[in-house]
Amino acid sequence: MVLLEMSIVPLGHGGSVSAYVAECVDLIDRSGLEYELHSMGTIVEGELPAVLALMQACIEKMASHSDRVSCSAKLDYRRGASGRLKSKVASVEKKLGRALKH
């Protein structure tokens, strides 16, 4: 399983791209993969081929609006581990002995 954090935006559309980002989030939501949306991107959890295919679909969706797309991605692959979207945060909270904002 992998965790993929990604932020994908079309370039040349001014200061706000939330309408375009919403299109990617819709693809992510419809994918059936576990995910968390945050203010600077989205984290998706799943098998490597599915996660990479979803990132490609999001890039292609943004490319339908712009000749240039910016994509930042970070991937964490861990064999045999699942549920890390929540468990990684829970581990830090346990060590601190309190709930954190997330």
| pLDDT in the model for residue 33 | 97
Domain segments of the chain: what residues?
2-96
Q: What's the whole-model pTM score?
A: 0.88
CATH no., domain 2-96? 3.30.70.930
Taking residues 38-57, what's their average pLDDT?
96
pLDDT of residue 89: 86
What pLDDT, on the 0 to 100 scale, is given for residue 43? 97
pLDDT band per the 50, 70, 90 thresholds, residue 37: very high
Task: Give the closest residue to 69 by CA, choosing from 61, 78, 80, 77.
Answer: 61
Q: What is the pLDDT of residue 48?
A: 96
Q: What is the mean pLDDT of residues 18-37?
A: 95
| pLDDT over threshold 80, residue 10 | yes
